[in-house]
Structure 1
Amino acid sequence: MNGKRPLVAVLTGAGISTDSGIPDYRGPQGLWQRDPSAQELVTIGPYLASTEVRRRAWLMRRDAGAIGARPNAGHRALADLERAGVPVRVLTQNVDGLHQAAGVSPRKVLELHGTATGVRCAGCGESGPMAAALARVAAGEDDPACARCGGVLRPCTVMFGEPLDERVLEQAETIARNCQVFLAVGSSLQVHPAALLPRIALEHGARLIVVNGEPTPYDAEAHEVVRTPISTALPALVARLVDGDLSGL
């Protein structure tokens, strides 16, 4: 590519992590389809109010496999994009930390919905690793409490019913306004305010590529829509971006 390389913004959703063994939520086989009541397990009101909801939530975290998951070819492709010298920022709706584990610089990853790798007390704010809390569950505690004050332990994620961190959202919007290429990967593009980021990018002249197994609200406006599996599609797209091939986008 001649001249300055374009800034590539990548919004990633649950679909990029399914090949790592982490189920998505809204897809045909997603958690919400299989068990619509499971959404209350990640909704702040019911979670804080109900011991039974928290017990079910801890079992879900124990069984989800996110802590032991490993990056797949899609995550690694984005790390390859950065290593190739292409300016890239990853705006992820995921909380699994797999972009960083794949080698993307942590400073280039914005975790819009927080991280599931840590927990904090809803009362005193004491924080710690999720792995330690899950070890307590494995040892027989069905609703582990804060060791400091006895309060409710919760993940360091943005749960339904909570706003996103305004500073993180502002950074994401700035990136969307200034990128030249915007990839939306493995996201239903239905969860707001993250779903507004492709709109911001389009309004500021970016080329939009949607990579998702199911239709999204942005497909008709996208410069390209890719339905092939992400672990196959993303390495191919990254190769094109590294080569400076934006034809057809």
Structure 2
Amino acid sequence: MKSFTESDHKAVRDRIPEILQSSGKGCAFKELSDPEFLIELENKLEEELAEYLESKEVEELVDLLEVIYRITELKGFSKESLESLRLKKRQEWGGFEKNLLLLDIPDEKYPYHEFPAAPEEFPRIVFRPEKSEVIKKHGVSMRIYTTKEDCPSAAILYQETDTGHAEEFVHKKSNFLYYILEGSGTWVVEDREFEGRAGDVIVVPSGKRFWFRGNLKQICITTPSWEEKYERHIRDIEL
């Protein structure tokens, strides 16, 4: 019978003991405390990285991500906070889409992370009507300014309608803020009616089903930026 040494020990996924035992293979395992397991996972991180560098298989990156997520949790952070930190750093320093290779290494007393972002990484400031997308949907003509890449926390649309938005829907993530430029209308939020006219701001919180009717020209701002996957159709409305 093989004797196991500490070098044989390694962190494994939760179902590995169950899978081994159901296949008739004996195994020994024990549960560690969070601080003890964190050390093992950091060793596992090095192992998974080495396996990817050897095989270059995408599946190895999946294993690497699983280890990273658990390390993040054991350090007191959530996946969401990790993603938020990733996006913040991406906004400040950019990603790796341009395939850039640094040839001149900066002086060590001025490390790269103290340098200001390069001009080409500066977010877009002006969004012009001629470069926006125009669509018609449920009785509303919309000019969509695609700001998500440069301003993920909000997006803006210009809307015109003679009769209103002939669909009741709900968005699970975005709040909808309407600033009425011309005309007047009625917003029906969770079956309650709210009147609005030029100069008014109508706020529909995320998670509330709604639709509206009226002859309107208005600005619609969604916070955070609208994403289709979080929107759910309730029913069509006859206006």
Fold similarity call, TM over 0.5: no
The structure where helix makes up a greater share of residues is 1
Between structure 1 and structure 2, the one with the greater Rg is: 2
- TM-score (normalizing by structure 1): 0.24
Taking structure 2 as the reference length, what is the TM-score of the superposition?
A: 0.25
Q: Which has the higher contact order (CA 8 A, sep 6+)?
A: 1
Higher strand share: 2
